[in-house]
Amino acid sequence: MKTRVEKLFRLTDPRPDAIILANSVDPHLDGAFFWLFDVPSGLFEGSVAVAHPDGELDVWSSVLEAETARTAAKKDPHVRIHEFRAPSEAEEGLRKQLGSSRNLGLNNAEITHATYERLAKIFPDASWTDVSAPLRKARVTKDRVEIEHLTKAGEIGSKVATEIPDLLKDGTVELAVATEMNYRMMRHGASGPSFSTIVAFGPNSAEPHYFAGDRKLRSGDSIVCDFGAYCDRYASDITRSFHFGKRDDEMKAVHEKVEEAQQAALGLIRAGVAAKELHLAAQRVIDASPWRGRFTHGLGHSIGLRVHDGWGMNERSEDLLEEGMVVTVEPGIYLPGHGGVRIEDDVLVTKSGYRFLTTAPRGYHEVGA
């Protein structure tokens, strides 16, 4: 992980003596901890990673996961593992290691207040530098290993997406389909879903962040399935929309318009393009249709160790696309009381274009007609 540590320090100005990434308890775990220490499993609650300007990394792990940590560290000579049985042991070890440091970096975006207070007691004379902005910048472009993890996660999501039509039967409930999708992701190699799987039937599909409930599928329903897989800690995020039974000509036209909007955005992707231009391209397509104003969210977001990992693409975005970024492209049209359509894919930004990490068919699909 030496290259990631060095990348982080290059982007941090002024440069601290060391950067501390401290976990609390699940779910308050710092994603940057796992970015610097690429360990495949374990919670690492209460663990601390200390990054040094020379690229070295010290990891303080509880005895619960010390063996996992040591196994991962065997692959990297620049990582040292320190085991502790009680928090006081880790505190004393950190004090001995960094006691002379005057400027320490913290990821303010993910550290809990209680953990900060604990560190402030260990280092009462230190000044603290917020490194959340350089961490965001460092993490938003992916290296080869991260792209491999994200590709595997995307493949799992794509496999399940192609299986969804077989799950859509008259009278089945949203939660039943969501549960089966979660099972199938894990059967295909996921460690779990990357967020709560959305399965929305009929009018519920007009709510972008709907939670699957007990509504039964019936003829004429539009269907939105938004889900993702964790694989090697990295996430995928894919949405496919379907129609069940009796055709609804308006919803078919909505689906085709969303496809057109997605393609308008995809056609602009390459390194150096302003992220907001992608959103505006999709929005222009939808606003020129009968459904003006019914695209109610940003076009997408970066994805990595988190589903929403760093920044979003909307009309206010100030970021430029960079080679190595992985982003979602997910336009949608939502008609309250009627239904909705969203199509979402994960794409890798290349120097001259993009590569799909999710590959399931995205065209209009009638099921059970």
Cα–Cα dist 19/114, whole Å: 18
Fold type of domain 144-367: Creatine Amidinohydrolase (3.90.230)
Contact by Cβ (8 Å): 63, 81:
no
Query: Both tokens of residue 281?
Result: 């391209």
- Ordered per-residue pLDDT tens for the chain, 369 residues: 899 999 999 999 999 999 999 999 999 999 999 999 999 899 999 999 999 999 999 999 999 999 999 999 998 999 999 999 999 999 999 999 998 888 999 999 999 999 999 999 999 999 999 999 999 999 999 999 999 999 999 999 999 999 999 999 999 999 999 999 999 999 999 999 999 999 999 999 999 999 999 999 999 999 999 999 999 999 999 999 999 999 999 999 999 999 999 999 999 999 999 999 999 999 999 999 999 999 999 999 999 999 999 889 999 998 999 999 999 999 999 999 999 999 999 999 999 999 999 999 999 999 985
Identify the architecture of domain 2-140 in CATH: 3-Layer(aba) Sandwich (3.40)
Show the DSSP H helices in the chain as ranges. 2-11, 31-36, 66-73, 87-98, 113-122, 132-140, 144-167, 174-187, 249-266, 275-287
Cα–Cα dist 275/268, whole Å: 9
Domains of the chain: which residue ranges? Answer: 2-140, 144-367
